[in-house]
Chain A
Amino acid sequence: MGDVMVGYVCKYTPIHIIESFGEKVHKIDPLPANFDNADCCTHNNMCSYVKAVLEECLAGKIQRIVLMNCCDSVRRLYDVLKLQPTIEFLYMLDLPRKADEKGCIMLAKELNAFIKEYEKFSGINFNKERFVELLHEQRNSRQYAKAGVNIGIMGARCESSITEIIQNAGANIVFNLACNGDNVIETNGFNGEDIIYQYAKTLLNQYPCMRMADTTKRYAVLKKDIEKSISGLIFHTVKFCDMYSFDYTKIKENLSLPVLKLETDYSLQSEGQIRTRIEAFIEALKTKKPPRLTSNSAYVCGIDSGSLSTNVVILDGQRNILAYSIVPTGAKTVDSATEAFENALARANLTRSDISYIVSTGYGRIGIPFSDKRVTEITCHGRGAHFLNNSVRTIIDIGGQDSKIIRINNKGDVVDFVMNDKCSAGTGRFLEVMAKTLGLSLEDMSKEAANSKEELTITSMCTVFAESEVISLIAKNKDKADIIKGLNKSIAGRTLSLLERIGRKKHYMMTGGVAKNSGVVQALEEKIGEKIFVPEEPQIIGALGAALIALENIKS
């Protein structure tokens, strides 16, 4: 034995027992390109992590796996894996939800049963001496807060690609208490006859996950230890894992630090968006006061490379907008950025060498080689909006593929934000698809809602389903204007629920391409019950903010 690793998924897994058989353990942290095979063996609405594990198993990458009876999705994973011929060892331990004495006795019995089963499978007898040795080994060196931005991770299991992004953005991870996080248990000093019981007790009494009956310990440590050691918390949830949404609402109430909520589906597809959110969060934590401007002769530029359009703003040293340009983003980020930049330069009657500093932002900010600095569009929108209207506290930005709500303070610093998850529902792309379905241009669509006479409700939020719903409404001879109004209401509803996640605070500004659609703005105003300020050119706010940051930089 020993060549093949034993995979596991849960921090309650008795890894010391498995290792005492001479086996190597491996925390399964998959990142599949898709769930094509997994979806054929189970339902597509299962927890994304479980589907990712299943995908790995079906690809033959895991032959031995020890599961805990974690949740409904893991239980079904076990049932499905039982029939897979490539799995040579599969075992699920029944983990009690109570950590009292009776729960510990139950788990000790489970552990003994597991030992017997592994002895039978491997032909090796359980080595108690080796087990004791392993328990006495120090395995997780505890992390400490360091100078700079210190981050903690909580919530549902969090893939390693996220921790890498956090570290690459220059933050230090002080702890990872996500449900597959560090197995931090104190096992030193264990000995004697009832060692398995002691081990069971220690496993059950670690920082509780959300499936446990008593989770008060989760919140008790927040004030005592956690708040002092970090400057921000990243709270991660997995699509179709519901347990941690309960936790998030509670953590928000109990913690006075900034919290970034991230939801991923454990696939490679959403990495770009996740990176933006994490980087913006860390930037907000790093925020320094803007330096005073001393030179009036400089020209700076901000480039916002979005998914549908690339926008450029040129400012002079007195923060006057000299020129701007908007071009559609083509297949190559750098080409569109160059085109927009050249257009703006021509309008400002300047050349490239006149520009002292360039800040790029937006989805494609990394792909612009001639920029001096990259800042996320979240920070930039905050700056840009504040510059145009300093009473704004909430920015509603609906762009091509993202919608965001950004909360800023009276200085224009970002204090909180939320973003839609990997889905185009309620974004510019959604409107584009619907306009195409209705055979209208985006501009006509914007005006058309005003002619609506009948109240229609579009129930599907998903772009794909909404499209088929619109087609059925067309088939029923419903009026275009009514359908459009229904769509606008649907977007407004979606945006409102995003807004509710950080709470309402006036005044509101709407930015991004969708802000040009007066029907959507009106529907949103009705939902929120407040007037929304729409800038003259809502698409350039990110680029404007980037240019303002560029100005700060040349003087700092």
Chain B
Amino acid sequence: MDMVKAYGNFIKKSAENPKTAQKLINLGLAIAYHWLSRRHDKKMPKSFKYLNRICIKFMHQPLKNPNNSAWVNLFAPAEILHAMDIYPLFIEAFASFLCGFECEDEYIDRAERAGIAETLCSYHKAFLGAGITGLLPKPKFAVTTSMICDANIGTFRHLTDMYDIPCYVIDIPNYYSPDAEEYVVDQLKEMVCIIEDIMGRKLDEARLKKVLMTENQTRTFLKKYMDSLEYKYFPTTLTMEMFMLFASHTFMGRQETYRFYQMLYREIDSYPQKQVKRIFWIHLLPYYQTTLKKYFNLNDKYQILGCDLNFDFLDNMDYNNPYKALAEKMIKNQYNGEYQRRIEGITKIIKKLKPDGVINFCHWGCKQSSGGVILLRKAIKDMGIPFLSLDGDGIDKRNSHDGQIKTRLEAFLEILDG
């Protein structure tokens, strides 16, 4: 652990020398890919070991090849980029890696010093800090959606102005209707034309269809995995649940992701049924947090059943109409629109997975999720399931108070064990 801290300190000290800091990040990712990702606990399922490796690869590719890369947010339709062989840099994940590299505080502070509100989401602040100091290599363009999280448009606009690169904002209406779908389809088509101009190559629609077909097949494995999760014990870690966001979102449609979910659903079958306390997690997981790691990482007594964000869209996509399918996927995402839709989506999954308890994590700066926490609490309590809401931060360690988390979590687990 101390080695990582020392490495993080090197990055922090190089914040004024972006070229050196970039080299350090690339070096860290290379080491993590070739060495660290192989050194897992024996308890760690093989599919997760594979997930770990592909996530590092997904992060490293756009950084190594900035001229063939684009910044995207979690909900952006990266399928179009996969079909054009463009590497997406998934910005929230980059911020999360800075936390893993023990240097997120430096970049968050840099953003705040540049005038960015301290109440902004820390993922965005860390990414902004990285951009402001020049830690990020210049990509060709950026794509963000307006849906679910307000921070995206501000962050993308700020940094793409600074880097002088084009930024396409896809405006997603709050509710689904044929008109809303058409509004999004038109934007996607306009965006593709712009990307084609920037990259000097055409999008092959047949490739896009193929990406969506792969995505459908991948999602079939995901659903089968969920079926097994209803009764199987499958050890996981906070980090793996977060890594799964790469697979369930930005890198859906890629072959590596297909392979991961295939491995996952096959592997879970070989695991036993076991009497453990099963906890369903809502929203982000602070994967660095000491107490939570102690209780949930590969634990025999408590198991995280999954994180709601990884199950936010489970429908089949009409790959013959790829633009329509992508528009529909975004508008119908269970987090878009009214909070009640999200409650319905979450309660549906909870009814299926039957957890013993539900933990919701209020991430610092995330108004869209925190704002509904009282409504969520009521819905889960009405189902007769114990509910705990924790306040903290997905990446900024200074905003998660271990003492508070520990007391609340242990009391909650005592209730479950009671």
Contacts and interface: CB of A to CB of B under 8 A. Distances in A.
Contacts of B173: 94, 96, 106
A296 B231 CA distance: 93
B362 A69 contact: no
Interface stretch (B28-36, B89-97, B113-121): B113-121
A137 to B, nearest CB: 31
A239 B398 contact: no
B361 to A, nearest CB: 12
B169 A245 contact: no
Given A76-B367, A246-B157, A45 B183 contact: no
A82 B375 CA distance: 11
B374 A97 contact: no
Contacts of A45: 119, 362, 364-365, 367, 370
Contacts of A193: none
B116 A249 contact: yes
Contacts of B362: 43, 45
Interface string B135-177: 0000000000010011101110110000000000101011100
A141 interface: no
Contacts of A284: none
Contacts of A496: 113
Interface stretch (A208-216, A429-437, A515-523): A208-216
Given A213-B146, A459-B398, A42 B371 contact: yes
Interface in A460-501: 460, 465, 468, 472, 493, 496-497, 500-501
A73 B366 CA distance: 9
B239 to A, nearest CB: 22
B112 interface: yes
A47 B157 CA distance: 21
A253 to B, nearest CB: 10
A468 B402 CA distance: 12
A242 B119 contact: yes
A328 interface: no
Interface residues of B, number: 47
B141 to A, nearest CB: 15
Interface residues of A, number: 55
A211 B121 CA distance: 16
A252 B115 CA distance: 10
Nearest to A239: B119
A42 B150 contact: no
B320 interface: no
Contacts of A243: 150, 154
B179 A245 contact: no
Given A210-B154, A211-B153, A497-B112, A242 B375 contact: no
A47 B119 CA distance: 10
Contacts of A109: 179
B174 A72 contact: no
A239 B118 CA distance: 10
B267 interface: no
Contacts of B372: 42, 76, 79-80
Contacts of A77: 371
Nearest to B174: A94
Given A43-B370, A43-B373, A472-B403, A215 B179 contact: no
A245 B403 contact: no
Contact of A43 (B339, B340, B371): B371
Nearest to B171: A97
Contacts of B339: 75-76, 79
B171 A47 contact: no
B23 interface: no
B7 to A, nearest CB: 18
A71 B367 CA distance: 9
Interface of A: 40-43, 45-47, 69, 71-73, 75-80, 82-83, 92, 94, 96-98, 102-103, 105-106, 109, 210-211, 213, 215, 237, 239-246, 248-249, 252, 459-460, 465, 468, 472, 493, 496-497, 500-501
Interface of B: 109, 112-117, 119-121, 146, 149-151, 153-155, 157-158, 169, 171, 173-175, 179-180, 183, 186-187, 338-340, 362, 364-365, 367-368, 370-375, 397-398, 401, 403
